[in-house]
Amino acid sequence: MYFSQQAVNKLALAAGISFPGDMGLPERLKVVQEMMGKGDGRAAKIFEAIGVYLGYSIPLYAEFYDCRHLLILGRVTSGKGGDVIVGKANEIVRDEFPEVLERVALHVPDEKSRCPGG
């Protein structure tokens, strides 16, 4: 759930972004993604935090799974926010766990393919 709409919602609320009480998580994600598209710094920090979560998770996964390719998917990875997530994750793995990059490659499909089922 650290890479999901739930994470975006939790971080958005912590960043002082408010939503109508009846607004669902998919709509809240869209609002934050629109804010990111407009250059809102709070939205950028949300996606950076998710990238940090991913960056530190990849080496952990690599300890338990013999993976060589990691495909990054999901509605949260769409748009500029997704670029921030993947960029921050790559930065952390590159700087702090370079040996993992020798074994695991991150792959990000085109925008349409990132959101299976939605």
Per-residue pLDDT of the chain (118 residues; tens, 9 = 90+): 888 999 999 999 999 999 999 999 999 999 999 999 999 999 999 999 999 999 999 999 999 999 899 988 889 998 999 999 999 999 999 999 999 988 998 888 876 666 655 5
Q: Where are the domains of the chain?
A: 5-114
3: which DSSP letter? T
pLDDT of residue 109: 80
**DSSP annotation of 65:** S
d(CA 63, CA 44): 30
pTM over 0.95: no
Q: What is the pLDDT of residue 117?
A: 57
Collapsing DSSP to helix, strand or coil, 49 comes out as: helix
Dist. CA 105–CA 113, nearest whole Å: 18
Buried b (16+ CB within 10 A) or exposed e, 83-99: ebbbebbbebbeeebee
Torsions phi, psi for 68 (to 5 deg): -115, -20
> What tokens does 49 get?
């935090």
Superfamily of domain 5-114: ATPase, nucleotide binding domain (3.30.420.40)
